[in-house]
Amino acid sequence: MKTLIKGGRVIDPASGRDSIGDVFIDGERIAALDGAAQGAKADKVIDATGLIVSPGLVDLCARLREPGFEYKATLESEMHAAVAGGVTSLACPPDTDPPLDEPGLVDMLRRRAKALTQARLYPIGALTVKLAGERLTEMAELSESGCLAFTQANVPLDDTQVLWRALQYAGTFGFPVWLRAEDLSLARDGVAHDGEVATRLGLQGIPAFAETIALAKLLHLVRATGTRLHVCRISTAGAVAMIRAAKAEKLPVTCDVGIHHVHLSEMDLGYFDSHCHLVPPLRSLRDRDALRAGLVDGTIDVICSDHTPVDEDAKQMPFAESEVGATGLELLLPLTLKWAVEAKLPLARALAKVTSDAARVLGVKSGRIEPGAPADLAIIDADAPFRVVPEALNSQGKNTPFIGYELAGRVRYTLVDGNVVYASAQK
Amino acid sequence: MNMLPDAEALCAKLVAELKPHIKPTTAMIGLYTGGAWLAQKLHPQLGLSTPLGLMDIAFYRDDYHKQGLHHDPKRTEIAFEVEGRDLLLVDDILYTGRTVRAAMNELFDYGRPASISLVVLADRGGRQLPICAQFCGTTVDVPEGRRLRMKRAETGRLRLEIDSE
Amino acid sequence: MNNPQLNAAGELQHLLSIEGLPRAILTQILDTAHSFVGVTEREVKKVPLLRGKSVFNLFFEPSTRTRTTFEIAAKRLSADVINLNIAASSQTKGESLLDTVANLSAMQADIFIVRHAASGAPYLIARNVKPHEHVVNAGDGRHAHPTQGLLDLYTIRHYKKDFTQLTVAIVGDILHSRVARSLIHGLTTLGAPEVRVIAPETLLPTGVESLGVKVFHDMKKGLAGADVIVMLRLQSERMRGALLPSAQEFNKNYGLSADKLSLAKPDAIVMHPGPMNRGVEIDSAVADGPHSVILPQVTFGIAVRMAVMSIIAGN
């Protein structure tokens, strides 16, 4: 099928292009742009006047809750939420039930996702069996099933010996390892950032150095093994500085930040709002500002949603007892646009954090608009306002700290492999 | 507009009326705030054997469910046994009678008096309960939408006034 | 953010924390408590204010003394009192907190007195009760114990009259103490010029100065010239959590002895929220001595709780 997307503001963060033009799609690929697309015969024409044509978003962490937690969300609901949010590729962590530590489970998940023909799904494999931090998984086998990297998700791996061996083994095959930096004994029982807000609210705190101490350990192991490390969900100013230095040292390190930590801080906990009960915790304004600066200067490579649908019952608990996480697949785009406006950043640079840079870390070909690239696109009305209300969210998870916020940025069309997988009802 | 009588003169009149009725068992209790001021004037002139009792009815009002708890409640201080006493209950203005009803309920939580007589400076009518004053300084007609008050100047001099609601 | 404790007219609807309450409301509660002390001293200790109202004691964390004082206070207001001791077990996933409250609500509750081990639990309840229902926090985790804070403030006002002239020292496990947090908020709101916390580093929460207190590690320096000394209970678990080596060492450095007490003002008062660990945070001689106002604190506690319930139930 040949599709012509006409007259949109085509933004390709990878090349820095931001100009009005046409995109011609032939089958699953982008065939031609602008002038080269003149005269091409299209079966379908999408009028993108006044809209942005962007690579589809690549979300490095979205929990789909299958297998095992279907009462929280299902593949169907979450994949639909993804494309409604302009996300065309997403990586899901292995903290399912059972955890994704066997090729059979990964195969099944990929097949299920493929059958839905919505976004592309890249399950990240478990680093250790059952994520228990003792035995290594069959990483080579998992890689053949489609795992592009290996992780412990939010399950701590505190045994440094095992951590070192796991990194060595992954490095043997050139597999990247994605890890969150948190010292288990310092973070145990903590539910909020150890600072003035936790003191006032009487909540057990997790100090900033729980992250930096663990990160120092990880960086030493990277030096020793040369394995590619992607640090997930950094939250402290200290970690930003350490990554900056690690990159200057030319270590093979990348990192991401959750979209919630780009906008929120411990101040947003208010009167014990359990929608702000997140992992890592929302930290001080100083930390948040350092994260934003790290995004601008390139220290932080990627923004992800850290999408975690939680049923309302599990949130309607006293703060410390509530389940952690926020839903965010559909809000990744408007919240990234909000950050771009606040940081006075050109759209191409801001969108890179959720498209080309994310694709680079994940190791996939999408995330760019150029002839020959997969036709994964999001056609966006960047100014369209909407109110974040539970009914407006496609995800089964309605647990977001942004309930009630007025945001801008709605997806009009999402294409994957050249097919329109989402078209909004509005004109 | 009626000319209001002089409150000080009414006090003297009440003292004269009360004197013949004072017995060894007589005690006086003034209701905050106006009744307390009035009682503080009357008490020293009556030669009572007991100190003046002062009462706040905040916890016995019948309008708690509508108005909530009255701000700035004072503390009821009754330094004598209520049991068996002939009590003179003193208030400044008698109107609906609800204040007196509340005061009597509170009094009975202190003990069982032998009798209660009501002493007021002015009766403006408009009773909503079967209450009357045994000793009354004067009656006053108050126009619709106005309020009769007793005020105390810095000198301690009492006066009656009609204010808007 | 709307203060969840106040209704649209700025009146007290729930008592969840002293923090965030305007000075006028704190003063109103203390003044009303003053009137209720009069009631507690007479023969008939009851007033009819809450007749026909139901007060439900929802204690997810067990406590006999606090629950009993609330029960006495409610009964003295002529309310009906129902006690529910719900053993909080993290293992058993029984009825959720909100389901429990919803069921009780269906039984015509007017006031919920809530004690819970998790900070913030009463806020969750207050967000989910009907408009005519009121919540009083009887202690939530480490966060707040507002009625205890209020009775401590009442006690201080009773003996010392003017907050704006006082140096108050709070000694002990500030980190885990909801009582300390509530008292600190009350003192700073009412204008106490110097509020000190005295504790080893391990028992002080991060950034405690932001609450408006001065930190002392040396108890002798911290007690110098104090008008009021508040001793906090030290729980034995603290020795197991690598926060303190032993009760003995704690007592030597942070326990209140007659010697250390003599460093405070000659007319200083000694308070303790109870129950006391004699010989750990406070020596018996001091607890039973002339500076101690620990027993009057208990009496004032009933009047303060009567004041709180009668104010909120009327709003």
Residue C225 located in a structural domain: yes
Chains A and B touch (3+ CB pairs under 8 A): no
Chain C residues in contact with B58 by the CB 8 A cut-off are: 35
**Contact between A67 and A25 (Cβ < 8 Å):** no
**Contact between A278 and A324 (Cβ < 8 Å):** yes
Co-location of C165 and C246 in the same domain: yes
End-to-end CA distance of chain A: 24
Distance of CA A71 to the CA centre of its chain: 22
| Percentage with pLDDT > 90 across chain B | 84
The model's pLDDT over A47-83, given as tens digits with 9 standing for 90+, comes to 999 999 999 999 999 999 888 887 777 888 999 999 9
Query: Where are chain A's structural domains?
Result: 57-362
CA dist A280 → A51, A191, A403, C125 (Å) = 35, 9, 20, 26
List phi, psi (to 5°) of B161.
Answer: -145, 150
Co-location of C86 and C52 in the same domain: yes
Residue C90 has pLDDT above 50, yes or no: no
Give the right CATH number for B7-65+75-164 from 3.20.20.60, 3.20.20.10, 3.40.50.2020, 3.40.50.980. Answer: 3.40.50.2020
> Which residues of B sit within 8 Å Cβ distance of C?
56, 58-60, 64-65, 67-69, 71-78, 105-106, 109-111
- The span from the CA of C50 to the CA of C111, in Å, is 10
- The span from the CA of A159 to the CA of B155, in Å, is 84
**Contact between C215 and C209 (Cβ < 8 Å):** yes
For chain C, what is the domain count? 2
Q: Do A202 and C97 touch (CB under 8 A)?
A: no
Mean of the pLDDT values across residues B48-62? 93
pTM, to two decimals: 0.90
Residue A163: CB atoms within 10 Å: 21
Residue A320: closest CA among chain C residues belongs to which residue?
Answer: C118
The model's pLDDT over A161-175, given as tens digits with 9 standing for 90+, comes to 999 999 999 999 999
A97 is catalytic: no
Chain B residues in contact with C310 by the CB 8 A cut-off are: 59, 69
Residue C290 located in a structural domain: yes
Give the full edge-to-edge strand order of the sheet including A57-59. Answer: A57-59, A87-92, A120-123
Q: A37-42: list long-range contacts, CB under 8 Å, 24+ apart.
A: A37/A4, A40/A2, A40/A4, A41/A2, A42/A2, A42/A3, A42/A4
Q: Considering CB atoms only, which of C4, C97, C144 is closest to A318?
A: C97
Which of A421, A411, A371 is closest to A25 using CA atoms?
Answer: A371
Q: Do B111 and C35 touch (CB under 8 A)?
A: no
**Contact between A292 and A262 (Cβ < 8 Å):** yes
* pLDDT score recorded for residue A370: 94
Q: Considering CB atoms only, which of C4, C124, C208 is closest to A316?
A: C124
Chains in contact with B, where contact means 3 or more Cβ–Cβ distances below 8 Å, are: C
pLDDT range class, residue B1, cuts 50, 70, 90: very low
Which residues are registered as beta bridge partners of B152? B158
Sequence-separated (6 or more) residues with CB below 8 Å from residue A325: A63, A277, A278, A279, A306, A308, A309, A310, A397, A399
Provide the token pair at B136.
Answer: 């009354």
- The span from the CA of A142 to the CA of A103, in Å, is 5
Chain C residues in contact with A201 by the CB 8 A cut-off are: 119-120, 143
Q: Do C38 and B111 touch (CB under 8 A)?
A: no
Residue C311, amino acid: I
Q: What is the DSSP string of A292-329?
A: HHHHHTTSS-EEE--B----HHHHSS-GGGSPP-B--G
* pLDDT score recorded for residue B41: 94
Residue B95 has pLDDT above 80, yes or no: yes
pLDDT range class, residue C89, cuts 50, 70, 90: very low
Active-site hit among A22, A95, A183, A306: A306
The model's pLDDT over A231-285, given as tens digits with 9 standing for 90+, comes to 999 999 999 999 999 999 999 999 999 999 999 999 999 999 999 999 999 999 9
Give the full edge-to-edge strand order of the sheet including B26-31. Answer: B53-55, B26-31, B86-94, B115-123, B135-139
Chain C: closest CA distance from residue B58 (Å):
9
**Contact between C61 and C119 (Cβ < 8 Å):** no
Co-location of C206 and C308 in the same domain: no
- The span from the CA of C59 to the CA of C219, in Å, is 35
Q: Do B58 and C314 touch (CB under 8 A)?
A: no
Mean of the pLDDT values across residues C241-266? 93
Contact map slice: A 256-285 vs C, CB within 8 A: 270-272, 274
* pLDDT score recorded for residue C85: 72
The model's pLDDT over C99-155, given as tens digits with 9 standing for 90+, comes to 888 888 888 889 999 999 999 999 999 999 998 999 999 999 999 999 999 999 999
Low-confidence ranges of chain A (pLDDT < 70): 426-427
* pLDDT score recorded for residue B68: 86
Q: Considering CB atoms only, which of B59, B65, B77 is closest to C47?
A: B59
Which of A332, A324, A282 is closest to A305 using CA atoms?
Answer: A332
Chain A: closest CA distance from residue C45 (Å):
36
Predicted-assembly ipTM surpassing the 0.85 threshold: yes
Co-location of C215 and C127 in the same domain: no
The rounded mean pLDDT for chain A is: 95
End-to-end CA distance of chain B: 16
Report the relative pairing of strands C111-116 and C134-140 from DSSP bridges. Answer: parallel
Residue C294 has pLDDT above 80, yes or no: yes
Distance of CA A325 to the CA centre of its chain: 13
Q: Do B109 and C44 touch (CB under 8 A)?
A: yes
CATH of domain A57-362: 3.20.20.140
Q: Do C43 and B65 touch (CB under 8 A)?
A: no
* CB pairs < 8 Å spanning B and C: 51
Query: CATH code at C139?
Result: 3.40.50.1370
CA dihedral B74, B79, B80, B85 (to 10 degrees): -30
Chain A residues in contact with C116 by the CB 8 A cut-off are: 318
The rounded mean pLDDT for chain B is: 92
Chain C: closest CA distance from residue A320 (Å):
7
Instruction: State which residues form the domain around C180.
Output: 147-297
Place of tokens 């209660």: B116
Which of C183, C184, C203, C180 is closest to C253 using CA atoms?
Answer: C203
Mean of the pLDDT values across residues B52-66? 92
